Amino acid sequence: GENVEQHPSTLSVQEGDSAVIKCTYSDSASNYFPWYKQELGKGPQLIIDIRSNVGEKKDQRIAVTLNKTAKHFSLHITETQPEDSAVYFCAASKDNQGGKLIFGQGTELSVKP
């Protein structure tokens, strides 16, 4: 079955710096790749997603890139702010399914003011 590996497990950056989180997936049939942000005591919230017919997608300070050949995708956060501190999860699914997801292990991002 599908396996999603996420790195790093923890990431600490200074406010204003960029943060990059990387994920690799094993099943070449996967074609939907969402990123979720989870704040303490809350459920995951979708922040950006990408489908396999697109190589890059941007939304203000957040961008996601997808390399289908290498089977990896990355989350880029520019100009980080303290409120970006949270746990971030990548995920993958087949058949463009929005909710039947295989998640990575998570990255705890800490943005120091």
Does 23 bind other proteins (CB under 8 A)? Our answer is: no
CA 49 to CA 52: how far, in whole Å?
A: 10
Binds other proteins (CB under 8 A): choice among 43, 60, 69, 70: 43
Does 113 bind other proteins (CB under 8 A)? Our answer is: no
Q: Please say whether the beta carbons of 55 and 72 come within 8 A.
A: no
- Least distance CB 7 / other proteins (angstroms): 13
- Least distance CB 8 / other proteins (angstroms): 14
Does 24 bind other proteins (CB under 8 A)? Our answer is: no
DSSP string, 8-71: -SEEEEETTS-EEEEEEES-TTEEEEEEEEE-TTS--EEEEEEETT-SEEEETTEEEEEETTTT
| Sites of contact with other proteins (CB under 8 A) | 1, 4, 6, 32, 34, 36, 41-46, 49, 89, 91, 95-106
